[in-house]
Structure 1
Amino acid sequence: MTLKPWREVAVPHQDVLKGTFQQAEFAADLSRVHAGSATEEYQNPVLFFQRTFITEGMRLLLDSVVKRLAGKGGDPVIQLQTAFGGGKTHTMLAVYHLAKGEAPASDLQGVPAILDAAGVTELPRARIAVLDGIKSSPNQPVVREGQAIRTLWGDLAWQLGKAEGYALVADADASGTSPGKAALEALLARYAPCVILIDELVAYVRQFEEGKTLTGGTFDSNLSFVQALTEALKAVPTAVLLASLPESDKEAGSQRGVKALEALAHYFGRVQALWKPVATEEAFEIVRRRLFTSINDKLAMESVCRAFADFYTTHRDDFPAETQEGRYYQRLLQAYPIHPEVFDRLYEDWSSLDNFQRTRGVLKLMAKVIHRLWKDGNNDPLILPGSLPLYDADVRNEAIYYLPQGWDPVIERDVDGERAETTEIEAKDPRLGSVQACRRAARAIFLGSAPGSTNQLARGLEQERVLLGSVLPGQQVGLFKDALRRLNDRLHYLNHANNRFWLDTRPNLRREMEERKRRFQDKEDVFPAIRERVQRGLASGVFGGIHVFTDSGDVPDDWALRLVVLPPDAAFTRSGQSVGLERATEILKKRGDAPRFKQNRLIFLAADYDSVSRLKDHVRSYLAWRSIVADYKDNRIVLDNLMARQASASLEQAEETVRRMIRETYKWLLAPMQEARPGKGLSELRWEHFQLNPGAQNWSQEIERVLKENELLITEWAPIHLARVLKDWFWKDDAREVSALSVWQQSCQQLYLPRLKDDTVLQMTMAAGAESRDFFGFAQGKEDGRYVGFSYGRRHLPILDASLLLIEPSAAAAHLEALHAAEEASRAKGAEASGGAATSSVLAGGGTPRAGDSAKGGYATGSTTAGQVVKKQFYGSIELDPFQAKKQFADLVDEVVQQFTTRPGVKVKVTVEIQAESASGFDGSLQRVVKENCNVLKFKNAEFESGAD
């Protein structure tokens, strides 16, 4: 359902619409009304009561006055003690028009009900005396019809009875002494029913100096007059006095003013009826009557208020608890077309300002607000705090008039206007701009925090109250929450803590941070900070070295696998050629000025082009916050406790943001590749790119995962793949073998070959394929066409050195057959020479002859010739180098022990004897460790001895 705008339901008075109202028109002037020179709305009793809402307090007061004038009781003395601008004078004017009787009571809106309640059919016309403490002068007589009147009591007597009345107090007026209770009682009795209205009495009395007599009497004589007058009023049943006194000592003015207030309050207090008018809800109607003619569509008004109340109930978690109560709907009705939150902030917060008049100040401000909104065609259903047109000079000046210096730039920069940050944010984000979320939220914060930014215990406005002052039914609350987050990030005068927002004339730390951000340069400050964090976040892992933002001359050209991290100004983008690829190609091809040979040992990590600017901005923010915190700790700047906590929290948040942004920015792995096509040579260099997951827990492990899954790096290699590479690229033409070391070195240099983690991967692959005859054979060299140290089809742990050869399987098989044939021929020749039968022999290597076996007699015979002694036992001993024992023992097992274990029926026993001596002796910890380890390894004997003396 579409809600009617307030402008279609409540029409403002003409002076508000046209903007022709004068500031003074909001100030009721009792003396001018008494003199007949006030504006029509105050001078005409009918108009006055049309625009006056009779509050509960005013109704009780008028009831008392009516009863008093009719002789039916009522209070003789009523003291109106309210805050500045609290409606004292307006209340006196209501009594003035009611008592004077210039218009029938039936024509005065709200008055007949009061007369009926008091049981008065017709109110008698009363004589009225008005004593204005500001208008009267203690040392300057007033001349009335030729008669000089010096004192308040002289003026009172003249106003009640002209010359005849004055004659009753003439002597007292001339001497400046109080006429006394009897004289005043006679005066009041003669001219009753009468009403005496005394306004700003303290302002008059405080002008008398101690011990000094003026034409108006003395300080004491005036206090005596007040005392005598209040006593005399009790004796005259149809006489009543209304007097206004300020509520606070500050409003009383000087020390004499405070003293006068205390004395007058004491004397009035003896007979007064103290009255404090205007509750906040009643102020709703006061303002509405003064600013708007009438509500011409009650149904539309109720519909709007119901929509707001239902909206708040639906989103109960986002709005203050009071909006969930049923009576909030009634508050909306009472305040319409102004939202209750506007009144709450003005009456609760702004009225605490020294010079903000409680009712008059609200009227002046809202009159200008309504005039501008009407002129601009504002179509809000209600006038909310977020509706205030602070972009308007008149409205802005009226608001900041009551505030300390310095608020104009706050509004212009952060809150409202063409140059405001809020306007700029909304221009860039149509979601926020469509509902003016930023401006409305900032206006609500201003109205709720500006008057209390220096004196509130809990500073600022809760988020729920900001939303209450800015969101309209049907709008997304989340959009305004997002706007608040944006404002908190961008505004220079906005502060935020403990879910409260407030504006201050002092720039917040964010502005200081923004100014400091401009000091930091990319090369000198930003890049080193990024470099430090990248280095901190990466572990070497599979890489032999990590080079962050390193020049090509400083990246070694060796056999180790290296990760090169490109600087932010060498970012990568998938769309088109990027600086990152150019820089990577430069490092890949050259080391400084020299060519790079081992190109297949480099992997590159590059920044995302679209994220670099944000990363640099966040790093500048971090550096700025870090400098602020450092300056605070070193006492170079002064911060209050709240700002210091905010700075520390912002630094922590900025550091975490930088860490996250580095992961999000450095997300591209770049690997150089080439293809080698038979007969066509090498292809052009191309780059494969793979994206890292920025949310991975461990950055280095994520890089390793991507490398392995995309086969950019091989950490484990199957022998069949090595055999295929050897067949494709190394066993060509007449080359039936290739140096294993050359294979490793070529894999480090050529981009078309697999990229191995290190030479151990190749060594393990060769060892895994050694037992099979499908992949390759081994030799430790080749002499005169014969392989030295030949091994094929048996377990073998090759040592990757310059002599190790990898032999093509068919060539290895042919060589093995040749060795067998040579062995058979040699055996046959030996048998023939000995005259015995031929014997069969089995090589100790399990049928695999080793280079030099025949020369050494390194084989075992299957039978013995006649006359030979059968050797049934073998014993050998060897001393191992303690520093190379592990390698030597492995060779011993392969070359000797396995010769026996592979033969059926052979029992092998291997004993290891360890002897260690120390001239200084072994300490207890070493002895304990060695014994425990020996027990675990099941040593038969393991003892420490003292040795020979």
Structure 2
Amino acid sequence: MSLKPWREIAVPHEDVLKGTFAQAEFAADISRVHAGTATPEYQNPALFFQRTFITGGMRLLLDSVVKRLSGRGGDPVIQLQTAFGGGKTHTMLAVYHLASAQVPASDMPGVSAILDAAGVAELPHARIAVLDGIKSSPNQPVNHGGVTVRTLWGDLAWQLGGADGYALVADADASGTSPGKAVLETLLAHYAPCVILIDELVAYVRQFEEGKSLTGGTFDSNLSFIQALTEALKAVPTAVLLASLPESDKEAGSQRGVKALATLAHYFGRVQALWKPVATEEAFEIVRRRLFSQIGDRLAAESVCRTFADYYVANKDDLPRETQEGRYYERLLHAYPIHPEVFDRLYEDWSSLDNFQRTRGVLKLMAKVIHRLWKDDNKDPLIMPGSLPVYDADTRNDIIYYLPQGWDPVLERDVDGERAETTAIENQDTRLGAVQACRRAARAIFLGSAPSTANQVVRGLELERVVLGVAIPGQQLGVYKDALRRLGDRLHYLNSGSNRFWFDTRPNLRREMEDRKRRFQDKEDVFPAIQDRVRKSLATGMFTGIHVFTGSGDVPDDWALRLVVLAPDAGFSRPQAGNTINLAVDRASEILRNRGDSPRQKQNRLIFMAADYDNVSRLRDQVRSMLAWQSIVSDGKDGKLNLDGIQTKQAQKGLDDANDALRRMVRETYKWLLAPVQEVRPGKGPSEIQWEHFALNPGSANASQEIERVMKENELLITEWAPIHLATMLRQWFWKDQQPEATALDVWQKTCQYLYLPRLKDDQVFQLTVGAGVESQDFFAVAQGKAEGCYLGFVYGKRSIIIMDASLLLIAPPAAQAYAEKLRAEEEAARKTEPTPPPFPGPGGLTTGIGTSAPGVEERKPGTGTSGMPPAPTTPAAAPKRRFYGSIDLDPTLAKKQFADIVDEVVQQFTTKHGVKVRISIELEAEAPVGFDDGVQRAVNENCKVLRFNSAEFESDQ
């Protein structure tokens, strides 16, 4: 449903439309009305009551005045003591026009109803005296023809009765002394019915110095006059006095003003009537009547208010509780076309400012707001807090006039205007810009929070009230919540905490954070922080070492698999046509070629990780934000930065959020895995080094596992190898016609060196592949060495324990088959040349077997052989072997692996037998031509002590 804009329903007064209003026109001046020089809206009784809303308090007061002037009771003295701008003078003007009876009561809207309620058909014409404390001077007499009036009582008598009335108090006026109760009673009775209006009385009395007499009398004589006058009024049933007194001591001015206020309040308090101040809902009507001439389409206005009320009910969880009450619809109607929230903020918050007049200040501000919105063709259904045209210089100046110094940059930079951050955000995000979500939210927050002070226990505007001040039926509230989140990230003067928002002239912690970000340098601060985060995010896993931002000289050149993480200043860019510069590839190539000043040998043991070039700047900025928040939190704890409770929580939350964002940013930036490879072209040898690049998934749960996954899936690393692939590599690179075997250790080490060979995880993968391949006769045979054309420990086609050392040979199948055939032939020949074993002795000591004589042969003597010679002596049983000794020299670079093999294959043969005692001792000898430095000696001695070496010492050659 399309809602009519307020400008199509409500028509402002001409002076508001044209912008011809002035501050003075909103300041009712009783003296100018009495002199006949006021503007028409105040001077003309009919026009005055047409633009005046008779509030409940004013109705009671006018009723009392009507009764008093008609002799039907009423209060003789009425003191108007309300807050600055509370409508005191406006009420006096209502009494003035009512009592003067310049036009019939029927021409003054609302007056006839008051007369009827009081039972008065026609109000008698009353004499009126106006005593203005601002206009009158205690030491400057006023001439009226031939009469010189010096005092308040002289002025009162002259206004009521002219020269005749003045004659009653002439002596007292000349001497500056109070005329007394009797004289004043006579004066009032003679010229009744009468109305006395005294405005700004304290401002007049405080000018008298104690002990000093002026032409207007003394401090005490003026107080005596007021006391006598209030007492005299009680005796005259058709005389009434209205006097305005300031509500606070601050409005009273000096110490004499405060003393005068206290004394006058005491005197008036003895006879005063109660005065009910203007209620907020009544203020709605006051402002509307003064600013708008008419509501052209009442049904359309009601439709707008009903739609807003229904919209609030439908979104009850996001709005203040009072919007769910039925009477809120009535508030919308009473305030139309201004939203009630505007009045609530002005009357509840802005009226707390010392120099902001409740009614006059609201009228002046809203007149400028309406003029600017009308000029800019504002299409909002209601004038809301979010509609406030703070971008307008005239409106802005009027607003900040009431505020302390320092608010102009807040409005210009954070709230509204072409250069405001809110405008920039909306220009970037059309979703927010379509409804001006950022500007409207900032205006509402400013209106509701600017009058607050740092001393308040609870500061700011609740989220639900921000939403109330900006949302229009048909809009999604989530848009404004998104806008608030964006504002919280970007604005410099906006603060938030406990679901409340407020602007302050002091830059918020975000501004402090932004200022501190500039302190941190890349090399000294940012890169070390990134280095620490990357190191913590990676676990070694399949890598023996991870080197984060390490120079080429510090990356070891050994047989271990290592991951080298490049610094952020060497970002990787995906290769594109025409783009031949890639900092990451250049840096990785340098580390791959050299270790410091020496050429690198084991090039196939390095994998590189690089940052995404396009994300590096964002990562740097995020690190600076984290470091800035970290310094703020630290300085707050150390007392170097004065933070209140809310700011302390904000700083900690800022640090937590920055850390979370940094964790994500590190993963999103370090997303490239780089692997060097070479191809071998027939007849041309290895190609130039190529760099394969693979993207890591930043959303994976574990960075190290993601690296392993990518390496395995793209065969950058072999963790399980089939023997056929090893055999193929051996045929291609290692087996020659004249040398059909290769040293296993040399093969393993070559795979660690050359980029065109497979990259194995470690030597364990190589050893397992050899062990699996030797079980078959399809791939290769193994031997523990070769001497004089014979393979020592030759194994071919059967399971065997493989010990990786410098003597282990891998033999090509043809050579292995030939050698196996040779071994079989030798075994067969050996069997044929073996002597015939002696015959097995038969029963009775006779021998039997193939070729023995038939029964009946000659009987042999016991103990003789076939030749009659004694048999060879029987070989005694061998003694059991009870001890084993063994020694081996280990390769220092493979010692860990070799020792593990010894334990698995040898030591466990003994430890698994019951009762076998095993003792293992290690002899370690190291020699350095130039000697060991103190650091090495200290570390080795300490570690040997911890490991409980029996003996460990360094020796010199002497």
TM-score normalised according to structure 2 size: 0.87
Structure 2 counterpart of 1:89: 89
SS of 1:82's equivalent?
coil
Equivalent residue for 1:821? 825
CA–CA distance in 1 between the matches of 2:391 and 2:625? 31
The alpha-carbon distance between structure 1 residues 436 and 890, as it changes in their structure 2 partners (threshold 3 A), is closer
Give the corresponding residue for 1:940: none
Equivalent position SS for 2:273: coil
> What is the Cα deviation at residue 403 of structure 1?
0.7
1:736 equivalent among 734, 740, 761: 740
- AA aligned to 1:277 is P
Is the 8 Å Cα contact of residues 81 and 276 (structure 1) preserved in structure 2?
A: no
Which of 713, 716, 723 is the equivalent residue of 1:712?
A: 716
The equivalent of 1:499 in structure 2 is 499
**Residues 688 and 248 (structure 1 numbering): CA distance in 2 closer, same or farther, change over 3 Å?**
same
Mapping 1:329-368, distance limit 5 Å: 329-368=329-368
Distance in 1, Cα, partners of 2:585 & 2:336: 66
Query: How far did 1:334 drift?
Result: 1.1
Residue 877 of structure 1 pairs with residue 877 of structure 2:
no
Distance 1:503 1:112 in 2: 49
Paired with 2:547 and 2:346, the residues of 1 have a C-alpha distance of 63
In the alignment, the residues of structure 1 paired with residue 906 and residue 43 of structure 2 have an alpha-carbon distance, to the nearest angstrom, of 125
Matched, 1:602 2:626: no
SS of aligned partner of 1:564:
strand
Shift of 1:836: 8.4
Tell me the distance in 2 between the aligned counterparts of 1:746 and 1:886.
Answer: 23
Task: Return the alpha-carbon distance in structure 2 between the equivalents of residues 450 and 503 of structure 1.
Answer: 6
- Partner of 2:704 in structure 1? 700
Aligned partner of residue 204 in structure 2, secondary structure: helix
Moved more, 545-554 or 224-233: 545-554
The Cα shift of 1:102 comes to 0.5
Q: Which residue number in structure 1 is paired with residue 759 of structure 2? A: 755
Q: 1:164 to 1:602 in 2, by over 3 A?
A: same
User: 1:193, 1:797 → 2: CA distance?
Assistant: 132
Measured in 2, the distance between the counterparts of 1:662 and 1:261 equals 70
Distance 1:369 1:885, change over 3 A: closer
Indicate the RMSD between aligned Cα atoms, in angstroms.
2.8
2:178 matched residue in structure 1 = 178
- Please show how residues 30-429 of structure 1 align to structure 2 within 5 Å: 30-429=30-429
How far apart are residue 644 of structure 1 and its match? 4.2
Q: Which residue of 1 aligns with 2:794?
A: 790
Q: Bigger CA drift: 708-717 or 753-762?
A: 708-717
- What is the aligned counterpart of 1:624 among 597, 621, 628? 628
How many corresponding residue pairs? 878
Residue 783 of structure 2 is aligned to residue 779 of structure 1: yes
Percent pairwise identity: 74
- Whole-angstrom CA distance in 2 between matches of 1:801 and 1:720: 22
Cα distance in 2 for partners of 1:912, 1:552 equals: 51
Match of 1:912 in 2: 916
Q: Deviations over 1:570-623 (max 9, x none)?
A: 222336254323333343344456543322211111112232121111111122
Deviation at 1:565, TM superposition (A): 0.8
Match for residue 483 of structure 1? 483
Q: Secondary structure at the match of 1:782?
A: strand
Segments of structure 1 that go 5 or more residues without pairing to the other structure are 838-865, 899-907, 918-949
- Residue 297 to residue 889, structure 1, CA distance change in 2 (3 Å): closer
C-alpha displacement of 1:831: 2.6
Partner of 2:804: 800
Counterpart of 2:530, as a letter, is I
Bigger mean CA offset, 885-894 vs 506-515: 885-894
Q: Secondary structure at the match of 1:703?
A: helix
Post-superposition Cα deviations, 1:290-319, rounded to whole Å, max 9, x if no partner, equal: 111111011221222122222222222222
Any conservation in 1 of the 2:552–2:595 contact (CA below 8 Å)? yes
**Which residue in the other structure is 1:666 paired with?**
670
Which residue identity is paired with 2:512?
E
Aligned partner of residue 496 in structure 2, secondary structure: strand
Q: Which residue of 2 aligns with 1:938?
A: none
Structure 1 residues 804-839: Cα deviation after superposition (integer angstroms, max 9, x where no partner): 11123454344223212211211211236x7989xx
| Kept after mapping to 2: 8 A contact 1:453/1:460 | no
SS in 2 for 1:359: helix
Q: Give the secondary structure class of the aligned counterpart of 1:260.
A: helix
Shift of 1:111: 1.2
Query: Kindly tell me: are residues 886 and 143 of structure 1, through their superposed partners in 2, closer, same or farther at Cα, counting changes over 3 Å?
Result: closer
Whether the aligned pair in 1 keeps the contact of 2:386 and 2:470 (CA below 8 Å) is yes
- Contact conserved, 1:150 with 1:174, CA < 8 A, in 2? yes
Provide Cα deviations, 1:69-121, integer angstroms capped at 9, x if missing partner. Answer: 12222111111111001100001001110111101110111111111222221
Report the secondary structure of 2:195's partner residue: strand
- Cα offsets for 1:893-936 (capped at 9, x unmatched): 89x999xxxxxxxxx9774035899xxxxxxxxxxxxxxxxxxx
Q: Secondary structure at the match of 2:541?
A: coil
One-letter amino acid of the counterpart of residue 202, structure 2: V
Q: Tell me the CA shift for residue 641 of structure 1.
A: 4.7
- The 1:122/1:733 distance shift into structure 2, 3 A limit, reads farther
Q: Distance in 1 between matches of 2:286 and 2:874?
A: 135
Residue 205 of structure 1 contacts residue 257 of structure 1 at CA under 8 Å; is this kept in 2? yes
Deviates more, 1:805-814 or 1:423-432: 805-814
Corresponding residue for residue 831 of structure 1: 835
Q: Secondary structure at the match of 1:85?
A: coil
Contact 1:453/1:502, CA 8 A, preserved across alignment: no
Per-residue CA deviation, residues 407-434 of structure 1 (Å, 9 max, x unaligned), is 1111111111111111122222222222
Contact 1:453–1:503 (8 Å) recurs in 2: no
CA distance in 2, matches of 1:383, 1:881: 99
* 2:538 corresponds to 1:538: yes
Distance 1:893 1:227 in 2: 120
Q: Which residue is equivalent to 1:905?
A: none
**1:443-592 correspondence to structure 2 within 5 Å:** 443-574=443-574, 576=576, 578-592=582-596
User: Aligned-pair distance for 1:545?
Assistant: 2.0
Q: CA deviation at 1:564?
A: 1.1
Tell me the distance in 2 between the aligned counterparts of 1:698 and 1:656: 15
